[in-house]
Amino acid sequence: MGRTGAWFGHNHYPIVPDLVCIGKGLGNGYPVSALAVNKETAGQLDGGTFKYMQSHQNDPLGAAVANEVIAVLLDDNLIARAASLGETFLQALRTLTASEHVAEVRGRGLMFAVEFSDKAVGDRMYERLLERGYIVCNRGGMFRINPPLVINEADFLRFVDVFGETLAER
C-alpha cells in the first residue's frame, strides 16, 4: 500500500476495479487482509450463496492494526513521500546503467528493478551486497529493490554508492 506513490498500483492507470485484494501492506507485518468491493459487485454478492470464511475473520486486533497502518500512511504523508523520493532514487539508480552489466533500471514510487545483462552477474552482485549488509530480491538476473516507506534519502543514496562500487569491483 502506497509503495508505488499511490494507494494502489491500479491508481496509476485509467481503470476502476470491481474489487481490490489488500494483503501484506495493510498489516505491516501482522497477518491481516481485506477485500474492497465496489457497490455494484457487493450488491451482486448480497443475498447470494457466496460465503467466505478464514481463520482471522472478524479479528479485532487485525482491524486495529489495519486502522493504525492506514492512519500512519495518512498522518505521515508516506504515499506522497514515496512518489517524491522515488523520482530522486530512480535517477540515482539510473546512474548504474553506465555499467555494461546493467541492462535496465526502472521504477515507480519506492519500487525499483535493476536488470542485469547476465544472470551470473546478478548472482555475484547479490552475494556481495549481502556481505555488505544490503538485502535485495534476486529474481534470476533482476533485482527487486523495495526500500521501506520511511527510508531516508542519505541511506538510500549510500546504498546506490555501494551498489556502484560493488559493480565496479566485479
The pLDDT tens digits for 95-153 are: 999 999 999 999 999 999 999 999 999 999 999 999 999 999 999 899 999 999 999 99
- Give the Cα separation of 69 and 26 in Å (integer): 6
Please give the backbone phi and psi of residue 128, each rounded to the nearest 5 degrees, phi first: -70, -40
Q: What is the DSSP string of 66-78?
A: HHHHHHHHHHTTH
Is-contact 66 32, C-beta < 8 A?
Answer: yes
- φ/ψ region of 141 (left if φ > 0, alpha if ψ in -120 to 50, else beta) reads left
What is the percent of the chain with per-residue pLDDT over 70, rounded to a whole number? Answer: 96
Domains and CATH numbers, the chain: 9-75 (no CATH), 79-169 (3.90.1150.10)
pLDDT for res 59: 82
Q: Give the mean pLDDT of the chain.
A: 92
Q: Which of 80, 138, 148, 84 is nearest to 113 (CA)?
A: 138
Burial readout 71-102 (b: 16 or more C-beta within 10 A, e: otherwise): eebeeeebbebbbebbeebbebbbebeebebb
- Percent of the chain with pLDDT strictly greater than 90: 80
Give the pLDDT of residue 35. 87
Contacts of 142 (CB under 8 A, 6+ apart): 113, 114, 115, 116, 122
pLDDT at 53: 67
Backbone angles phi, psi at 77, to 5 degrees: 55, 40
- Strand arrangement, sheet containing 102-108: 102-108, 111-116, 142-145, 137-138
Confidence band, pLDDT 50/70/90 cuts, at residue 49: confident
